Each structure stands twice: as C-alpha cells, then as structure tokens.
Amino acid sequence: MATTPLLQCQNTLYDWAESIDTKSWSLLHSLFAPEVSIDYGDVGGVKDLSAAPDLFIDWVSSPERLGNLEITTQHFIGACKWTEVSGARWRVYFQIRAAHWRPSNKRDGATLNANGYGLNTMEFELSEGIWKIVLVKVGARWIEGDIEAVFRGD
C-alpha cells in the first residue's frame, strides 16, 4: 500500500530526530535535499539559508557537539501542525524538547543535564520520488540547565 506524502514527511521527521539521537550521521545525511536552509541560530549554531547538508551534519556531529560519544540526547517531538505549501512541498511546525545528558569530568559521579524547549519548523520537498528535508529552523523558547557545560563536560 502506498503511503501519503504527509505520512512520508512525518516518517522523515521521525528519522531526523532518531538519527541525531543514535548518532546515525549517514542516515541523517540521506534525509536532506542537495540544498537546504539551516537555522540553528537560536541555540548558537549554524545558520545558512542555502547550504549543502554537510554544513549542518559536520557541525552537529563534531566532537565538540553531539559527535561526542559521552553526550546522549533525546529529541522529543510533540504536537505537529502540517501545511501543504504546494503539491511538492510540505511544512511542519512542531513542539520539541531536546534533552542532553553527559557524565561530568569531575570524579564525583555527577552528571550534566540541559533541556531545550521550543517550536521548530521543517519543510520537505519531493526529490526524485522521495520527500527530503529542505529547511530546518530551530525556535528555542528556553533552555533549562547549562547546555554549554554539557558540551564542555564541566
């Protein structure tokens, strides 16, 4: 049975979160169109409105970010609001909670935790019969904890 465009886009959204949380960088790369608009500016990240997906993937998978094997994440996707922009483009606004955890570098057994809460935007276009991500925009509302400490390992 064929799946609808909306279901295919929703599955791609799920795969985006899952690939980040499992550090499956090749899966993450496969989800993007050849040119994407990336805006992680709200969380001090990469912002380029016309980039190759490698710009984002290299940043997110770097050892200073989520490529660090000590850092564990869980990107919870909440309520979604879907809009058909055109026959070949869909947009979703979705609530997100991105939990970040890491053991502290201190020898006291402490852990470092930070959670980001917000409303993200993602757009998908049909490319060679597959729905691919063409836009990711993070809309941070607040961050609980010290996210930079998680990345530093304080």
Catalytic residues: 75, 100
Residues sharing a CB contact under 8 Å with residue 63, sequence separation 6 or more, in sequence order? none
Partnered with residue 83 across adjacent β-strands are 91
Partnered with residue 135 across adjacent β-strands are 37, 123
User: Which two tokens mark 76?
Assistant: 């919870």
Q: With contact defined as beta carbons under 8 Å apart, do 94 and 81 qualify?
A: yes
User: Which two tokens mark 73?
Assistant: 């994440």
Half-sphere exposure of 26 (CA within 13 A, CB side): 0
